A and B are shown apart, each in its own frame.
Chain A
Amino acid sequence: MIATLLTPRFLRNALPALSLTVLLLAIFYLQPRAMSYFGLNLLLNLALPIAFATIAQMCIITVNDLDLGVGAYVGLVAAIGATWLNETPLLGAAALLGCIAVYAALGALIHLRNLPSIVVTLGMSFVWLGLALLVLPTPGGKVPDWIRAIMTLKTPFLPFTIYAAIGVGVIVHFGLMRSSYGVVLRGAGGNPRSVSRAGWSLLRTKVTMFALAGFFGMLSGLSLIGLTTSADANIALRYTLLSIAGVILGGGEFVGGRISPIGAVIGAMTLTLAASFLSFLRLPPDWQIGAQGGILILVLAFRAVINRAEARR
């Protein structure tokens, strides 16, 4: 029993959950009052939008690409959500669908022309930000009541964000890790050549994953404005880097379609907690980003140690 618990494989898979638990326990130790419905809600409130953005980023990473524009995209969705979606819901919904279509088209462009995704999505980040500024030139707007109602839902025992985050992780897990087409999608990142020789269209997998990223990015923006009640074009720019960090923290790897949806959600929660952890330590908030970087480095160091132990066997 203990032997199986200490295998490198198990340790590596348990690492994301372990780091979240340690962080959570440290926070409870420093501030026991955080161990309540209200406390957890305050702590993990903003984890949901970050989790959605992280899942979006994970979809892109699955097919060996990287999205440097997801933060700006979430900002655009937030801007549309707080303006058009509220005033003329049909136009708003059409605009959001259009955004997802653009994402799908990006996937096609990157695949067909064999382009580096970093540069294309970097260019798109300008476009998303520009569009967001056109839709919402100054911070403000009004969030549709139904989004607000969903995000402030009072659920029993644990806050809504926790249920939602777990739900997202599980659904994406079954979609990507357990379904047969999910295997093909991940295989397109792991060994594109053999997937294509087996008769699957690589173009279709890329378009699917980019469209999924657009979809989850949209959920990120909508859930974000449900919490903040107003929008700003620059509201989520830091999500780009946070989402990459979240995927990696959750056990995803950069190449080869090795991902973990549940890990990604846990990674997003860990990053959210890392920021509040400092305030419990009474450290200046200046070090918030630094703490996220530190935890990322720490977890990666642990993983390197585990991998090395495995190689020695």
Chain B
Amino acid sequence: MTPTLRIAARLLEKPWLWAFAAAFFVWLATIVFTGGQGAAAVLTAALAFGTFSVIVGIGQMYVITLGPGNVDLSIPATMTFAGAASMKIMDTQDSMIFIGLLVALGVGVSVGIFNYALIRLLRIPPIIATLSSSFVFQSAAIAYGRGIKIKPPPVLAEFTTARIVGIPILAIFTVILAVIMAVVLHKTVYGRSVIAIGQNPRAAGFSGISVGFTRFATYVLSATLAGLCGFVLSGFSGGASLNMGAEFLLASIAVVVIGGTSVAGGFANIPGLWGAALFMFLLVTMLNTFGLGAGIRLIMTGLIIISVITLAGGKSTGR
């Protein structure tokens, strides 16, 4: 086997390759249909919108990697609350941007601590804990935001929508974030603990890993990233709105699954998040370009998620 072939063979084993390949083919189909028009613009938009799914997807992926039953349902509420709180505190003043960011991150950290406290103190499954806290924080966002759409500070709005040679700056930062989180996952004690717990929590505990602390840190991480996402999304879309997080519950889980991360836990995959996020956006764009209505578009999205999991899943988890 020649070296090139060997590299190609090794690449094919990477689960994230499929997400990128699917994204590429969907993009290709779109520009063939339009006759090459808007090929670059579509990619730019995909990068911009994919950014938000990737940010929350990273947190959700860490949580899901902890093993069966671990999922963060409070992401949309956290995003909305963080967005509303930070926009209100910044009050369109550029000088307050840093404080606004701290507020958004602070909201995230608090939600994460609250989530884990529920899991730990009430001994309830994470799904129920994050579900109940999402009720509370969604309400808090409604009461706090009072339905008014507060504009982001001009500099923040500019930054979140800025581009360098067609590439959104936010996407560049999110790629860097993804790289950092990949290093954390594979090279640090914390990241490896997450994976170990996902593979077998008892064995991980016996080998001296602090299971409780790792889970705590992971739920805080997920909520903090949701807070960050709420902050930048508010800047990007011209203010916080009360339903801005709604679609990200589905999106955050979908990018994790399509990206090749094991839903059974213990196996995470960061590059796949980007592939899946681009794929999801480009898919909707393609169906739009074909002139299909919202109904068909939703049905196709759902069927594709199910097909992906049917093809990828079904393997025994080794237990």
By a beta-carbon cutoff of 8 Å, the part of chain A in contact with chain B is 66, 109, 113-116, 118-120, 122-134, 137, 241, 244-245, 248, 254-255, 284, 286-294, 296-297, 300-301, 303-304, 307
Contacts and interface: CB of A to CB of B under 8 A. Distances in A.
Contacts of B69: 254-255
Contacts of A125: 250, 302
Nearest to A114: B314
B127 interface: yes
Contacts of B310: 109, 113, 115
Nearest to A131: B299
Which of under 10, 10 to 19, 20 to 34, or 35 or more describes the interface residues of B?
35 or more
Contacts of B295: 130-134, 137
B135 interface: yes
Contacts of B264: 116
**CB-CB nearest 8 A-B residue pairs:** A293-B135, A290-B139, A126-B302, A130-B298, A130-B299, A123-B305, A127-B302, A134-B295
Interface string B115-157: 0001001111101100111111011101100100000000000
B131 A119 contact: no
A245 B264 CA distance: 23
Contacts of B176: none
Contact of A244 (B131, B136, B309): B131
Contact of B136 (A115, A133, A293, A301): A293
B163 interface: no
A290 B296 contact: no
Nearest to B140: A290
A118 B302 contact: no
Contacts of B254: 119, 122-123
Contact of B135 (A254, A290, A307): A290
Nearest to A124: B302
Contacts of B301: 123, 126, 130
B26 to A, nearest CB: 16
B128 A244 contact: yes
Given A241-B135, A245-B131, A248-B124, 9 more contacts: A119-B263, A127-B299, A130-B300, A245-B128, A288-B139, A289-B138, A293-B132, A300-B132, A301-B121
Interface in B265-308: 293-306
B205 to A, nearest CB: 20
Contacts of B118: 297, 300
B257 interface: yes
Given A130-B299, A131-B299, A119 B124 contact: no
B314 A286 contact: no
A77 to B, nearest CB: 16
B316 interface: yes
Nearest to A126: B302
| Interface SS of B by simple majority | helix
Given A109-B310, A130-B302, A293-B133, A284 B143 contact: yes
B197 interface: no
A248 B130 CA distance: 13
B256 to A, nearest CB: 9
B238 to A, nearest CB: 23
Contacts of A124: 302, 306
Nearest to A300: B122
Contacts of B140: 290
**Most B Cβ at <10 Å: residue of A254, A292, A293:** A293
Contact of B297 (A116, A130, A288): A130
A89 B293 CA distance: 26
Contact of A304 (B121, B135, B136): B121
Given A115-B314, A125-B250, A293-B139, A130 B294 contact: yes
B298 A126 contact: yes
A202 B140 CA distance: 43
Contacts of A131: 295, 299
A296 B310 CA distance: 34
Contacts of A126: 250, 298-299, 301-302, 305
Contacts of A119: 253-254, 257, 263, 305-306, 309, 313
B266 to A, nearest CB: 13
Contacts of A113: 310, 313-314
A288 B143 CA distance: 10
Contacts of B309: 115-116, 119-120, 123
B310 to A, nearest CB: 6
10 contacts: A66-B127, A119-B305, A119-B306, A123-B302, A132-B295, A137-B293, A241-B135, A284-B143, A292-B135, A296-B132
A114 B146 CA distance: 44
B90 interface: no
Contacts of A120: 306, 309
B170 interface: no
Nearest to A308: B123
Contacts of A307: 123
B313 A123 contact: no
A122 B250 contact: yes
Nearest to B73: A241
A114 B319 CA distance: 13
A168 B125 CA distance: 27
B143 A287 contact: yes
B293 A133 contact: yes
